[in-house]
Amino acid sequence: MNAPAELFNQHLIDPEICIRCNTCEATCPVGAITHDSRNYVVMADKCNFCMACVPPCPTGSIDNWRMRPKSAAYSLEEQYAWDDLPPVLTDAELLAMGADASAVATAVAEVNAQSTTRQNGVFNSADYGATVPPWSAAHPYTNLHGPKAPISATVVGNVQVNEAGTANETHHIVLDFGHMPFPVLEGQSIGIVPPGVDAQGKPHHARQYSIASPRNGERLGYNNLSITVKRVVEDHDGQPVKGVASNYLCELQTGDAVQVIGPFGSSFLMPNHPKSHIVMICTGTGSAPMRAMTEWRRRLRQSGKFEGGKLMLFFGARTQKELPYFGPLQKLPKDFIDINFAFSREAAQTKRYVQDLLRERSADLVALLKDPNTYIYVCGLKSMEEGVVLALRDVVTQAGLNWESLGSSLKQEGRLHLETY
Ligand X SMILES: Cc1cc2nc3c(=O)[nH]c(=O)nc-3n(C[C@H](O)[C@H](O)[C@H](O)COP(=O)(O)OP(=O)(O)OC[C@H]3O[C@@H](n4cnc5c(N)ncnc54)[C@H](O)[C@@H]3O)c2cc1C
Q: Which residues are catalytic?
A: 209-210, 379, 419, 421
> 382-398 vs 362-370: helix axis angle to the nearest 10?
80
Q: Kindly state the smallest distance separating residue 127's Cβ from ligand X, in Å.
A: 19
Residues 6+ apart with CB under 8 A from 359: 391, 394, 395
| CA dihedral (168, 268, 262, 223) positive or negative | negative
Binding of ligand SF4 at residue 250 (CB under 6 A)? no
CB contact set of 119 (below 8 Å; sequence gap of 6+): 29, 30
Question: How many CB atoms sit inside 10 A of residue 332's CB?
Answer: 15
Which one of 5, 7, 13, 292 is in contact with ligand SF4 (CB under 6 A)? 13
Helix or strand or coil: residue 396? Answer: helix
Is 381 among the residues that bind ligand SF4 (CB under 6 A)?
Answer: no
The nearer residue to ligand X, 89 or 218, going by C-beta atoms, is 218
Q: What pairs with residue 257 in β-bridges?
A: 154
Q: Which is nearer to ligand X, 89 or 389 (CB)?
A: 389
Phi and psi at residue 218, to the nearest 5°: -60, -45
Binding mask 273-292 for ligand X (x = CB under 6 A): ------------x--x----
Q: Does 124 bind ligand SF4 (CB under 6 A)?
A: no
Taking the complex as a whole, how short is the minimal distance between the CB of residue 220 and ligand X, in angstroms?
21
Partner touching 288 among ligand SF4, ligand X, none, CB below 5 to 8 Å by kind: ligand X
**Nearest-angstrom CA–CA distance, 395 and 240:** 38
Residues 79-108 close enough to bind ligand X by CB under 6 A: none
Alpha-carbon distance 40 to 61, whole Å?
Answer: 10
Rg of the chain taking only CA atoms, in angstroms: 23
φ, ψ (nearest 5 deg) of residue 37: -70, -10
Selected binder of ligand X within 155, 229, 357, 369 (CB under 6 A): 229
Tell me the residue type at 377: Y
- 21-40 footprint of ligand X as x/- string (CB under 6 A): xx------------------
> In the bound complex, what is the minimum distance in angstroms from residue 116's beta carbon to ligand X?
24
CB 226 within 8 Å of CB 218: yes
8 lines the binding site for ligand SF4 (CB under 6 A): no
**What is the β-pairing status of strands 277-283 and 311-317?**
parallel
Asked if 20 touches ligand SF4 (CB under 6 A), the answer is yes
Question: Residue 40 interacts with ligand SF4 (CB under 6 A)?
Answer: yes
The yes or no reply on residue 378 touching ligand SF4 (CB under 6 A) is: no
In the list 5, 32, 67, 317, the residue contacting ligand SF4 (rule: CB under 6 A) is 32
- Comparing CB distances to ligand X, the nearer of 14 and 110 is 14
Interatomic CA distance for residues 344 and 67, integer angstroms: 50
Among 7, 8, 61, 322, binds ligand SF4 (CB under 6 A): 61
Calculate the alpha carbon distances from 135 to 175, 264, 418 in Å: 30, 19, 17
Query: What's the Cα-to-Cα distance from 247 to each of 195, 241, 263, rounded to whole Å?
Result: 12, 10, 22
Phi, psi torsion values for 211, nearest 5 degrees? -80, 135
| Residue 206 binds to ligand SF4 (criterion: CB under 6 A) | no
User: Cβ 21 to ligand X, closest distance in Å?
Assistant: 4
Cβ closest to ligand X, residue 27 vs residue 246: 246
Q: Is 244 in the site for ligand X (CB under 6 A)?
A: yes
For residues 191 and 309, which CB has a smaller minimum distance to ligand X in the complex? Answer: 191
Q: How many Cβ atoms from other residues are within 10 Å of residue 156's Cβ? A: 17
Nearest approach, Cβ of residue 92 and ligand X (Å):
41
Number of H helices, E strands in the chain: 11, 15
Q: Which residues bind ligand X (CB under 6 A)?
A: 21-22, 189, 207-210, 227-230, 232, 235-236, 241, 243-247, 285, 288, 419, 421
Q: Which residues bind ligand SF4 (CB under 6 A)?
A: 11, 13, 18-24, 27-28, 30, 32-33, 40, 42, 47-53, 57-59, 61-62
